[in-house]
């Protein structure tokens, strides 16, 4: 009877499920502590910690540990709803070695949490608002999963970290596809569904996904997971040094004389063919010898150096910035502006005005 406090005894399967959830949460806490201790300055590490917290909220939310709706339950529900968006941000930042989150990306994740809040607050009343919010929730989860898969696909060739490049398809595809499964069965009924429900089964499967996810990442070397930024500034052209690997010397000389980076379609496979070298050797040279984790960052160093020289040249004062950027190898104005601002901390127009003012004073 209600209020008697009596509960049906847990089955062996349910006990194992609860133990596995506790173990998964402990593993997420361990991984988060390692990231906080060793990599807190890296944006992907901070996003991973936030993602781990959201996954922990989901494991708790689907475990049936809460008796009914309350403020604490609402917090866990909102944390769980942020997991797909945080996973997308993590994949974007980690695989592309990003240093900051765009306002648009952060806004999309915030809107997804706001939609989840509307869904939770209107649950008891049901009606049109709750139905629309629930549909939007599934669409948002599928959208974030698709976006994460797209990040994996579009940047796969430019990833110079061999271990990360090797595990990315399996790691992210499994997690993203699992998000799709969750989107199909999640929030199909009120909280507190019976243990055999599809919702709890999906939550139990999440435990296995967490164990696999953490196991793969914890096996990676620390330098491969969140390596330091290139030793050379992104906007500087690296120069060959005495004792460098012969391939590195030849590569840098080729980049300086032939300027292949001006080809906006240049890939590492195409560059390897131009050098007459095997692609895997070139990848290891740019990553291990020159310190770059991403091929596009390596190319952008040359492109930005050429752009900066042109912007500071009084003879090119009237040349449009977009023309200079396209001539240097940038495919469009948006990526160029982002790369320039990240490297210089100002817009190309501001840089040109300052550089020309200095030249006039000189």
| Per-residue pLDDT tens digits of the chain, which is 362 residues long | 444 455 567 777 677 778 888 888 888 898 899 889 888 888 999 999 999 999 899 888 877 665 556 788 889 999 999 998 998 999 888 888 888 898 999 999 999 999 999 988 887 777 888 889 888 988 888 888 888 888 888 888 888 888 888 877 777 667 666 666 666 665 444 444 444 455 555 555 666 667 666 766 666 666 666 665 444 444 455 555 545 678 999 999 999 999 999 999 999 999 999 999 999 999 999 988 888 889 998 999 999 999 999 999 999 989 999 999 999 999 888 889 988 998 888 999 999 999 888 877 75
Spatial CA neighbour of 173 closest among 148, 154, 155? 148
Task: Look at residue 179 in the predicted model and tell me its pLDDT.
Answer: 66
**Pair (122, 200) in one structural domain:** yes
Whether residue 81 lies inside any domain: the answer is: yes
Distance separating alpha carbons of residues 263 and 173, to the nearest angstrom: 31
Among 225, 254, 287, which residue terminates a domain?
A: 225
| Residue 29: closest CA among 13, 49, 15 | 49
- Residue 278 contacts residue 146 (beta carbons within 8 Å): no
Question: Residue 326 domain-assigned?
Answer: yes
Query: Are both 268 and 299 inside the same structural domain?
Result: yes
142, 61: one domain: yes
Classify residue 293 by its DSSP letter: S
Phi, psi of 294 (to 5 degrees): -140, 130
194 and 269 fall within a common domain: no
Cα distance between residue 317 and residue 315, in whole Å: 6
Counting the structural domains of the chain, the total is: 2
User: What's 277's domain CATH number?
Assistant: 1.10.10.60
Q: Are residues 316 and 187 in the same domain?
A: no
- Domain end, chosen from 225, 256, 289, is at 225
Kindly state whether residues 340 and 219 are assigned to the same domain.
no
The pLDDT of residue 51: 92
Phi, psi of 159 (to 5 degrees): -75, 120
Residue 232, in any domain of the structure: no
What's the pLDDT score for residue 225? 66
Q: Is residue 241 part of a domain?
A: no
Question: What phi and psi, each to the nearest 5 degrees, are found at residue 152?
Answer: -65, -45
Does residue 135 share a domain with residue 43? yes
E runs forming strands in 193-245: none
Q: Is 294 helix (H, G, I), strand (E, B) or coil?
A: strand
Is the domain of 212 the same as that of 106? yes
Who's near 84: CB < 8 A, 6+ residues apart? 112, 140, 141, 144, 145, 179, 183
Task: Give the C-alpha distances (Å, rounded to integers) separating 170 from 93, 165, 220.
Answer: 18, 10, 14
Q: Which range of residues forms the domain containing residue 268?
A: 246-361
Does 3 map to a domain? no
75 and 191: one domain?
A: yes
Q: Residue 109: which CATH number? A: 1.20.1070
């Amino acid at each position: 009877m209600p209020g008697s406090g009596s509960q049906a005894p847990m089955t062996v399967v349910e006990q194992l499920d609860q133990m596995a959830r506790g173990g998964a949460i402990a593993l997420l806490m361990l991984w988060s502590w390692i990231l906080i201790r060793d990599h807190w300055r890296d944006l992907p590490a901070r996003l991973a910690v936030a993602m781990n917290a959201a996954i922990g909220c989901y494991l708790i939310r689907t475990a049936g540990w809460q008796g009914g709706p309350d403020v604490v339950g609402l917090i866990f529900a909102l944390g769980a709803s942020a997991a797909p968006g945080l996973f997308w941000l993590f994949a974007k930042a980690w695989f592309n070695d990003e240093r900051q989150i765009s306002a648009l990306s952060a806004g999309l994740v915030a809107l997804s949490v706001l939609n989840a809040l509307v869904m939770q607050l209107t649950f008891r009343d049901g009606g049109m608002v709750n139905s629309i919010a629930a549909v939007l929730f599934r669409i948002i989860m599928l959208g974030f999963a698709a976006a994460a898969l797209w990040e994996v696909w579009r940047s796969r060739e430019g990833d110079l970290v061999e271990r990360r490049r090797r595990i990315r398809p399996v790691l992210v595809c499994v997690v993203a596809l699992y998000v799709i499964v969750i989107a199909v069965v999640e929030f199909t009924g009120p909280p507190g569904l019976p243990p055999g429900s599809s919702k709890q089964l999906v939550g139990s499967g999440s435990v296995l996904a967490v164990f696999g996810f953490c196991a793969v990442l914890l096996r990676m070397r620390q330098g491969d997971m969140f390596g330091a930024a290139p030793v050379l500034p992104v906007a500087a052209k690296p120069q060959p040094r005495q004792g460098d690997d012969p391939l590195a010397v030849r590569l840098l000389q080729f980049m300086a004389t032939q300027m292949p980076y001006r080809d906006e379609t240049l890939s590492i496979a195409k560059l390897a063919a131009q050098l007459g070298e095997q692609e895997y050797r070139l990848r290891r040279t740019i990553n291990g010898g020159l310190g770059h984790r991403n091929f596009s960052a390596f190319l952008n160093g040359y492109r930005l150096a050429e752009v900066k020289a042109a912007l500071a040249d009084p003879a090119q004062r009237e040349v449009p910035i977009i023309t200079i950027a396209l001539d240097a190898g940038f495919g469009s104005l948006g990526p160029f502006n982002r790369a320039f601002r990240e490297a210089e901390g100002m817009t190309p127009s501001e840089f040109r005005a300052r550089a020309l003012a200095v030249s006039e004073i000189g």
